[in-house]
Amino acid sequence: MSELGAFADQGRTSVELFAGGGGLVMAVGRAGFRPLLLNELGKHACATLVANGARPYDVGEGHPPIPDLGEDPPLLRGNVAKVDFEHLHGQVDVLAGGPPCQPFSLGGNGRGDEDDRNGFPHMFRAVREMRPKAIICENVRGLLRPSFAPYFEYIKREFTLPREQRPEGSAWHEHDARLREMIDDDSGPADERYDVAHFAVNAADYGVPQTRNRVIIIAFRRDLGVDMTRFQELVRPRFSESSLYESMTDGTYWDRHPEVPRHVRETVMARIPRQSARGDTGERAPAWRTLRDAIKGIDGQKKLPPIPVDHLDRKERRLGGFVDHIGWPDARIYVGHTPNELDRPAKTVKAGVHGVPGGESVVMLDDGSHRYMSVRETARVMTFPDNWALAGSRGEKMRQLGNAVPVLLGQVFTEAVAVVLDEAEKST
C-alpha cells in the first residue's frame, strides 16, 4: 500500500493546499484525516506526491472526483489561483496548508503582502468556498516580526470572517478596517465565523531532532463550540532542552550512544550551560532529540550506516538498503558557515535559493571530519518515514525538505484538532 493510501479508509476529511513534499499531508493523515484533495504547483513536489500514492490531475481539466473510502487522494497540479473549491463545500473537516513562506522569511526579501508568492489570499478564498470545520496553517516565524505584525493580525481577522471578501483592487489595510468593525460588532451566523489562535513553536519541543522556529495558525468554526483552552493544553511543548543536558549529565544519553568516543563526550559536556549541569532524580520532560538520535533511528527506525570517505562521490549504492543515503563531496566550513553537531538537534533545514544551503546541510563527525548530510539524514531530521519517496535531483529533494512541515510537529497539532472536534461533537 502507498503511504497516502494508508489514509484512504479514515472517516474525517481534509484538503491541503501548497502540499509541497508532503510533510503536513503525512501529519494530517496520521491524525486520522482522509485527504479529499491535494494541490501543489511545483513539478518535483508533485512527482513526490504521485510517487507516494496521489492520483494526478491538472488544473483546467475540471474537478477531480472526490475519492470514496479506500481510494487514493487526487492531486491537482497547478496554480491554486485557478482552482475552484465550491464542489467541496460542507465536506471538509480540516483545511491545511503552508502558504509559500518566502514573502515573510529573511531569505525571501521580506516583501510580505506585496509579494506575488503570498499564498494567504488563496487560503482565505478556499475557506470561503469550502467552509471547513477547522484550519491549520504553518509559516515562518518571520510573520511575527514587528514589520509584518499588522499584516499578521489582518491574516487572523481574514480567517475570523472569511465570508467578507476583500474587494478587488482594494488595499489589505482598507479591508482590515472593515473586518475590525464587523468583528467588534460580533453579529452574524456562527457558522460563518471562526475562532482563531496562533502558536509560536520550536519543532525541537515536539520531538523533532531540529531547532526550527515556526508559527502555526489554528481556526475552528464557531458554531462547533470547540474548547480552545483544551486545544492549547494538547499542543503544549513536550520535549525539553534542559532534559537533554540532564540526560547527558546523568549518563542516560551516552548509554544510548555507547559508540561515542570519550573525547567527544568530554567536549560536549564542557559546553553544557552551568545551570543545567546537574542530575535530576525527579520526573522530567523527554529530552530534545539530537542529530545523532535521528541517524541512529527514532520511533522504531533502523540505524543509518556511516558513509565512507571514499563514497563521497554522488553515486547511489543503497548503503544498508536505504535510498537517498548518498555521499556528496566538497563540503566546506568557515566563519558563518558552521556545521551541525551530532549531539544537538540539527539546525533549521532550509530550502535555499538554489536548493542546497550551506552550513545547515553539513555535519561534523566524531573524528573531526565533516561532510554534507545525505538526503535521507535530512529527511529524518524532518521526521519523514524512510519509505517516503522524494522525486528530483538532490537539490530538488533538499528544497522540498526545507520547505516542508516536520511530520511530528504537524502531527501534534492535527491530532489535537481531531481530539477537540470529536469532543465538541460528542457534547452537542
Q: Identify whether residues 28 and 98 lie together within a single domain.
A: yes
pLDDT in tens, 25-75: 999 999 999 999 999 999 999 999 999 999 999 998 888 999 999 999 999
Q: Identify whether residues 257 and 158 lie together within a single domain.
A: no
**Which amino acids are annotated catalytic?**
101
Q: Identify whether residues 195 and 343 lie together within a single domain.
A: no
| Residues β-bridged to residue 37 | 15
The secondary structure of residue 320, as a DSSP letter, is G
Q: What is the spatial distance between Cα 136 and Cα 218, in angstroms, rounded to a whole number?
A: 5
Q: Examine the pLDDT at 112 and tell me if it is beyond 60.
A: no
Q: Identify whether residues 313 and 225 lie together within a single domain.
A: no
Q: What is the spatial distance between Cα 134 and Cα 36, in angstroms, rounded to a whole number?
A: 15
Q: Identify whether residues 62 and 146 lie together within a single domain.
A: yes
Q: Identify whether residues 61 and 162 lie together within a single domain.
A: yes
| Residue numbers of the domain that contains 215 | 4-237+404-427
The secondary structure of residue 406, as a DSSP letter, is P
Q: Examine the pLDDT at 260 and tell me if it is beyond 50.
A: yes
**pLDDT for residue 356:** 46
Helices (H), 186-328: 228-234, 241-249, 252-256, 262-270, 291-296
Number of domains in the chain: 3
Range from 104-108, 187-191, 407-411 carrying the lowest mean pLDDT: 104-108
Q: Identify whether residues 186 and 73 lie together within a single domain.
A: yes
Q: Identify whether residues 120 and 222 lie together within a single domain.
A: yes
pTM for the full model? 0.93
Q: Identify whether residues 293 and 355 lie together within a single domain.
A: yes
Q: Identify whether residues 31 and 42 lie together within a single domain.
A: yes
**pLDDT for residue 357:** 46
Counting other chains too, the contacts that 359-367 makes at CB distance below 8 Å and 24 or more residues apart are 359/333, 361/398, 362/331, 362/332, 362/333, 362/337, 363/291, 363/339, 364/333, 364/339, 364/340, 366/260, 366/261, 366/264, 366/342
User: How would you class 323 by CB atoms within 10 Å of its CB: exposed for 0-12, middle for 13-18, buried for 19 or more?
Assistant: middle
Q: Identify whether residues 157 and 212 lie together within a single domain.
A: yes
